[in-house]
Every structure is written in structure tokens, then in C-alpha cells.
Structure 1
Amino acid sequence: TLRWIRLTQAASPSFFHKDAVAVTTRPYIYRCRSPNMEDFTCWWHPLDNLTGGEEITYLLTYSKEYECPDYTTGGPNSCHFDRSHTSVWTSYCMNVTAITPQWNYTSKGLCLDVADIVETEAPINLTFVLTDAGKDETGHNVRLSWVYPKPEDLQYGWITLEYEMQYRQVTEPDRWKVKHPLREPLVELLGLRVGDYVVRVRSRSHNNGLWSKWSSPLLMNIPDRLSSGKVLVLILVMGVGVVALLVFTFGIMPHSKRIKEYFLPAIPKPRIMGIDPLLLKKGHLEEINRHFSNFHGYRPPSYSEEVLPVWNTRGKGYSVQFSYTVNGFYEY
């Protein structure tokens, strides 16, 4: 049994103007939306070719035999389907009939699947944090984040969100830069130059093409100098560096020779125990032989003097030269 609901709507004042023309001669379902694939709402345009004080009743039917379960939750000229009347695997074919005392006006039929009308909510609480204040040549880094207003719509896993973020400089109204797709409700912008920016973000289901409305725009200012907190950190870092340099200069440098000797000790020269190195340099062979005679099997070298003729290189014949033989080897 169909349930009737009676709505009274006055005719538009412009209808009585001599140039007025009826815009809608029958109802028209212009929008259906599901925020979470668990319920949905449809809206229609009412008739506007009515005379003053004329009563009109709207009736929405679907699947040829069922009437709209809720005419009030979605506002005027709407029908809301709650969870008990919504199924993802059901195709809904519906139309709206306007019933007047003179005639009934029925809209064109509309068929839909709930998965095709998913339209998510606009993100809220869009904020930014300046993460790195670099030089003007490199720009600044900014981390932006936002919140989805109805997390309970996501708890059953029907919807996987993705986001699109747009930003531009205030002085360039038509030059939006886009970051998409974003899987998480945050993004970091790198190398932003000093100035004022406008940022906005929207969301949609990963499996559907209907975007939500844009979030409230965020005015973001990139300063041209470091904040007081950054300046304090910079001063502390420089102070620690100066103290470390002073400690190195006055504490370590005076002891550098001792430290070098500790880590790089001198390599001892080769020597023979019991023999003065000066004897080797001065060539005192008798003293050296006396020391070596203590070793078993050591025999002092023998010396002999011979006279050898040597050819004079200047062409004057032979000359006489004395040589000494040490253990069979000649020494001149």
C-alpha cells in the first residue's frame, strides 16, 4: 500500500509577471548521493507552473511498487533511504509524481546503483606547519594535514578515500597546482618561495569519480625570515661550535706532540748490542774486530799490500798504485 504525503507549495511570484515562463512542467530528479554506500538520498526539482494557493503532493516510487521510506531526513523535496532500505547489489529505478487537483505530473524514470552515487564529505581542519626554513633560493618546506569529518562512514571498509589538493599564490588566481592522488590526509610541499598561498582539498571514493565539495580555503603565509624558535636553535648550534673550537685550540693543540708520539711512536734504529755506532762511522776496524772476536767462529780479515801497474788514461804509459787486499778482495 502506498503511503501519501501532502505538501503545500505556493506559486512563485514571478509566475504572474507578464514575461514569466514555466521552468519546470513536471518534477525532475536532479541528484542522488550516498556518503558511505550504506544509505542514500535523492532530491528533485518541484513544479513551478502553479497558481497561487494550489496544493500539490509529491510521491516517489521505486521498483514499481515501493514508496519512499523517508521524506523528511533529506529536507524538502527529497527521499532518504536508510540502511534497512539500501543494498549495494540492488538497482533502484524510481520516479516522482506531482499530484495536483487538476492533473498528475510524473518525472522521467531514473535508475541507479548505490556504488555509482557515492559522494564523500569535504575535508575539514586544514592546517600547515613550516618544517624547514631554507634560503630564498631553495624555498621553504611545508607539511599540510586535514581531517575527514565523518570517520564512522569508513569503519566498515566500503570506501577507500583518496584526496586532491590544490594550491596557488594569492597573486595568481588562475594558476592552481595540483597534488593527486593522495592516499593519506597529509602532504609535504617542497621549495615554496616566500609569499601568500591559498590551499584547498577535496576527497572521493577510490572506486568512484564523484568528488566532494572543496574544503574551506586555507590562507598560508611563507615568511621571508626565520622564526624566533629557529633563530634560537641556530644560536645554540653556533655557540656549541665555537666552544668546541676553543677546546680544540687551547686544550689539544699544546699536547699535539705528545699525542703524536703516543699514537705514532718512533721506530728504533738497527744496532748491534755492545758496539758503539761511532766506531762503525769512524772506521776503527781493530776495535770492531776485538768486539767480534767474542763470537764463536769469527775470523778477523787479513790485510796484504800489493803493487799493481795501472795504465795511465792520459796516454803516458803505466803508473804504479798500491792496493790492499782484504780477504781476497782488492781495495784501492
Structure 2
Amino acid sequence: MSPQTNRSAISERRAIVSALPDWLRRSIGNASEISTVQQIIKQRQIHTICEEGRCPNRGECYAQRTATFLLMGPTCTRSCAFCQVDKGHAPMPLDTEEPRKVAESVQLLGLRYVVLTSVARDDLADQGAGWFAETMRQIRVLNPQTQIEVLTPDFWGGRQDGTSPETLQQQRIATIVAEKPACYNHNIETIRRLQAPVRRGAKYDCTLRVLQTVKELDPTIPIKSGLMLGHGETEAEVIETLQDLRTVGCDRVTIGQYMRPSLEHLPVQKYWHPDEFERLGKIAQDMGFSHVRSAPLVRSSYHAGEEA
């Protein structure tokens, strides 16, 4: 990055931050904790969504011995308009050593709870389901006491030998469910009306089907989903989405504020007040969700280990 480009990026970031309400301004946390994690993942050429997504809670989570690893490289084959993860060009080939490297990182960091997520890899035959499973197995070899949550893409699309996309999706999900994760997470992200502009390439009903499939395959595995507010949704639409999640058996939910990563991403339509998040959290609890995190800075993996 040239000095001029870097200055432009810094200026843009400052403009975005200056528009934030007070309740969204916070320190990223303990610099030494962040540096330790960054050094370990850099040495092994692996990735965390904490870093790729610039999560505001990463220092806090690292200090609590929780991290979310981003599998299969940093480049996504989808193009969601809210997400900071790299996209728009072909992803790199899989690093065959990545599952082992992640397992070693979990061991070095002493993680008690780890979340595995990934970019969408529509270019792979199984869209990465087997990679999740193998990474889980490798982690358990070195860290038998560490609990593993998965946050997966929808595994939708593609036909093989005439097999329907629905059947392929179920097979891919079953590959991961067979490894008994501590929690299976797949985010719905936004309300039905806003799926197309926010989640390009993903669909509302497809997400509900993922969650329902997990529940049908193994009712003992808690399932979780998450919403970002600020894209122009109404409270009634958020409540409707929460009801849809409960209908398919979703046990846990996170609700947080969308924060624009750059001027190239979707603009924020509204900054929801902490009191509004608290009210939605209470509504979700009354619906029967067993674990609810609802606050402006909540993200999918925020305090995930406390739910186990």
C-alpha cells in the first residue's frame, strides 16, 4: 500500500468513526493479548475472523481465551455488501496443513473454547464441509478439553451426478454434525426484506433450512443464529425474524449493530440505541431462546464460551 493510499484509508476510517454514537466507541482492549494472537497466526499463515473483520471485541475475547479461526483462506466466493472479508477474486488453493496449524494455535493460546468459521468456498466440491470436520478432529487430538463451535456458510449450490442442491446441502451439514460441535451457528444476518441487498448470494429460507437440518440431524446440538441491525429494518421485522428462527428450533441468538467497514460498504441506515437492544433481547428471551446476546457491539462469537 502506497503512503498516499494509506493516508486515504486512515482518513476514511476516521470519517466513519467520527459518525459513530458514543456507545459504539470503545478501546479494542489489551494490546499485549492482541499482539500475542497476531504473532501466532501470522507465523502459521492462518487467519481469524477477529482480525480479518476487525472485530471491536477481539481484545476482550483473546483475554478470555476465546478466538474465532477463519478457515480456507481470507478470500470469499460470495460478495455480501456488509462484510469486510476479502472478495472479488479467485481464492487461493487450500493449505493442507491448515487444520494442524489451527490445532497447534489453539494449544499455544490455551483456548478453552474455539469457534471455527470460514469464507464461502463455492468452488470446492463439498464447499468446505470436510475441512471443518478435519479441523475439528485435529483440534481434539491436541486439545481434548477444548470445546468447538462452528459458524458455517450455507453449503448451498452445485449439482453432482444429478443430486439435488437440497440433498447436497444436507450431506455437507451432516459431515459437520457427525463431529458433535458444542454449538452449530449459521447467521441469518438480516430480515427477509433486506436479504438481497445485504447478503448477495444467500437466501433467508436457505438459512432457516440449514438450522432446521442441524436440529433434525442431532437435536442435542444447540443451534445459533445472529442478526445485524442498522440496514433499515423495523422492530416488527426483527421480531418476525426471531419468531422464524424459533420455529425451526434455533436455541441461541445474537443481535448487534452493523458498523460500516468502509465507504465501499453499505451505509448504516440507523444506529439502534442500547435500550432498543435490551428490549429486543427481552423479547427473544420471552420467545424461548436459551441464550441471548443483544447489544450494539455484540457479534456472532461474543462470549460464546459462556454459553457452553
The TM-score by the shorter chain falls in which range? Answer: under 0.3
Higher strand share: 1
Higher helix share: 2
Q: Which protein is bigger by CA-based radius of gyration? A: 1
